[in-house]
Amino acid sequence: MKMHLPWVREHRVKSLMRPELTNRSERIRARLTQLFTPSELIVRDDSAMHAGHVGARPEGETHYKVEIVSPAFEGKSRVEMQRAVNSALKDEFDSGLHALSITARAS
């Protein structure tokens, strides 16, 4: 008999949004998935390539590249898509994200 534990899924989803339980890559992926339901999403931490530069921290998680394809971007200009992604990640910028390279397009 299969046991139904509804709290397991609920706990996992909630924990994705708790900064103390996840790394920045996971939080970025969760937030963009939540808001844009992308058909394609790549989140890459490029912090190591910027070690020693302004804004880089020894623990990393400061420089990222995001490639996202979403129907939510239909009819939007490149600037509008990038502003939407930056806005979605405001909390990350406020907590130490220094640079984000964005490639976004409509699906």
Output 85 or 51, whichever has higher pLDDT: 85
Q: Does the pLDDT of residue 13 top 70, yes or no?
A: no
> In angstroms, rounded to a whole number, what is the distance separating the alpha carbons of residues 104 and 38?
10
The two structure tokens encoding residue 27:
């939080």
> In angstroms, rounded to a whole number, what is the distance separating the alpha carbons of residues 95 and 62?
10
Give tens-digit pLDDT for 24-83: 999 999 999 999 999 999 999 888 775 666 655 556 678 899 999 999 999 999 999 999
Give tens-digit pLDDT for 17-31: 444 536 999 999 999
pLDDT at residue number 52: 62
Report the candidate in 63, 62, 49 with the shortest Cα–Cα distance to residue 96: 62
pTM listed for this prediction: 0.73
